[in-house]
Amino acid sequence: MGARHLVVIGNGPAGKEAAAVLRDKEPESRITIISKDHEGQYRPNFLPDYISGRKSLEQLYATPFRFYQDQEIKLRLGQPVAVLDLEERRIILDHKEVIRFDGLVIAVGGRPRIPEPLLVFQDLMYTLKTVQDANSWIDRLASVDSVVIVGGDLTSFAITRALLQLGKRVGFVFSEEAFWPQRCNDQILRAAAAKLAARGVEVVPGRLKRIVRHSETRFEIMTDCRHLEAGLVGAFFGLVPDVRFLAGSGLQIERGILVDEYLNTGFEGVYAAGDCAQVYHPELRDYWVSIGYDNALRLGRIAASNLAGGREETTVPPESLFCDQGVRANTSWWLEF
């Protein structure tokens, strides 16, 4: 019998970490990472600093290609997965190639979320998830002096800080969609708004109703109580697990892939980790999608370790939780703004 073939879908922090742990635990196994991205692993949390010029392009990339070579991890970039067939334990890639696996870690991460009511304005708003997105921001910021941010997720506060450093005028449309997927309350909104206002940001509470493009560098943003003008509109509504390709695979999917506390999907040898895994948390009394770079690394490690025969539970550190309508949630990033 040949060596086990362990496959990781996704080359973000969770996926890369999972592959590294698997190599450590199973030196004889064949390990393959499949990623739809064309570029190597980068640190998305550095993208705002890259835009402001405080980080170079080289500093964005977290893992050199040499690492995969040394670890004998086969890296397949730019190859989206079309179908996951759990019965036959095979993956069909977009270009129809079939890859069989003995163990699998799904770590596909998330994609920028645009709330459904705003999908009609999708083409008018900039998001920030990839290096390519960051380069688009840099290009456009060269010709505009004002930006309106709508939403209120982790990245929105970081990009706001970056924009202020660049001397841009920033407006912030703050609504209950902030802190998605948790419901926000007035107390949190007021505290966050006060912090933004103290840094010179024009805070506009309310829902975004409409965006009108007057020219390439002039947009009118209408909320339910104000009209704003800006040269660029950024949408920051969090990330949504990028799991559409798994529909019909048999995996249980809510926002992300539902897994148990060991990150197992319910299928033997199939785990999920990072932004795409959703686990029930007894303290929160809710299903939980972990976010942030460090969490992704940790979950990648746990998933790989359990795939290699371990029995490690995932937990959420209680100090990073806050209480919202009786539900505690880990969305403390704005406090660091």
Partner 1 sequence: MPFDRWPRDIVDPQVNREKSQPIFSTDPAEFYYLGLNVPCQRACPAATNIPAYIRALFENHYNRSYEINRLSNILPGVLGRVCSRPCEDKCRHGETELGEPVGICQIKRAAADYKDPGHTYMTRLYAPLGKTVAIIGSGPAGLAAAHDLSSTGFKVVIYEAFNQPGGMLMYGIPEFRLPREILMHEIDGILRLGVDIRYGVKVGQDMALEDLLKDHDAVLVAAGCYASTRLGIPGEGLPGVHTGLDFMIRVTSGEPPKVGKKVLVLGAGFTAFDCARSALRLGAEDVSICLRRTEENLRVTGDEILETKSEGVRLESLLASRRMIGQAHVEGVEFTRTRLGTIGGDGRQQIIAIEGSEFVRPADTVIVAAGQRREPVKFLDDNHVEAETAAGDHAYVTSHPKLYVCGDYATGPSTVIEAIAGGRQAAGRIVEDLTGRKFREPVVRMEEAQVTDRQRVWDFIPRQAMPTVKPVGDRFETPQVEVELGYDAKTAHEEAKRCYLCYLHYEIDIDRCIYCRYCIDVAPRDCIKLVERIETNEMGAIVGYRETSHWQHVNAVVIDNSRCIRCGECLRVCPVNCITVTRIEQVERIRPTGGD
**Least Å from the CB of residue 287 to partner 1:** 6
Contacts of 207 by beta carbon, 8 Å cutoff, 6+ apart: 175, 176, 177, 223, 224
**C-alpha closest to that of 222 among 235, 213, 214, 211:** 211
Q: Is the dihedral of CA 161, 222, 128, 181 positive or negative?
A: positive
218 binds partner 1 (CB under 8 A): no
Q: Cα(237)–Cα(93) distance, rounded to whole angstroms?
A: 30
| H or E segment and range at residue 110 | strand 110-112
Among 18, 178, 204, 253, binds partner 1 (CB under 8 A): 253
262 binds partner 1 (CB under 8 A): no
122 binds partner 1 (CB under 8 A): no
Among 66, 87, 88, 96, binds partner 1 (CB under 8 A): 96
**Least Å from the CB of residue 90 to partner 1:** 12
Could you say which residues in the range 157-216 bind partner 1, by CB under 8 A? 209-210
280 binds partner 1 (CB under 8 A): yes
286 binds partner 1 (CB under 8 A): yes
Examine residue 181 and say whether the peptide bond preceding it is cis (omega within 30 degrees of 0): yes
Let me know if 125 is exposed, middle or buried by CB neighbors in 10 A (0-12, 13-18, 19+).
buried
Among 28, 247, 318, 319, binds partner 1 (CB under 8 A): 247
**Least Å from the CB of residue 70 to partner 1:** 36
82 binds partner 1 (CB under 8 A): yes
Q: Cα(292)–Cα(198) distance, rounded to whole angstroms?
A: 26
Instruction: Locate 203 and state its tokens.
Output: 């805070």
Q: Cα(285)–Cα(186) distance, rounded to whole angstroms?
A: 22
Helices 13-25 and 293-307: crossing angle in degrees, nearest 10, is 30
Q: Measured from the CB atom, is 138 or 327 closer to partner 1?
A: 327
Q: Measured from the CB atom, is 82 or 191 closer to partner 1?
A: 82
**C-alpha closest to that of 279 among 293, 295, 292, 265:** 265
57 binds partner 1 (CB under 8 A): no
Among 61, 67, 267, 287, binds partner 1 (CB under 8 A): 287
267 binds partner 1 (CB under 8 A): no
Among 45, 136, 252, 264, binds partner 1 (CB under 8 A): 252
| 49 φ, ψ (degrees, to nearest 5) | -70, -30
| Distance (Å) of CA 286 to CA 48, 118, 184, 186, 329 | 31, 26, 15, 21, 9
Among 97, 254, 313, 336, binds partner 1 (CB under 8 A): 254
**C-alpha closest to that of 107 among 299, 311, 312:** 299
Q: Measured from the CB atom, is 166 or 321 closer to partner 1?
A: 321
79 binds partner 1 (CB under 8 A): no
Among 3, 57, 98, 120, binds partner 1 (CB under 8 A): 120
Q: Measured from the CB atom, is 39 or 176 closer to partner 1?
A: 176
- Contact residues toward partner 1 (CB under 8 A) are 82-83, 92, 96, 116-117, 119-121, 209-210, 247, 252-255, 258, 280, 282, 285-287, 325-327
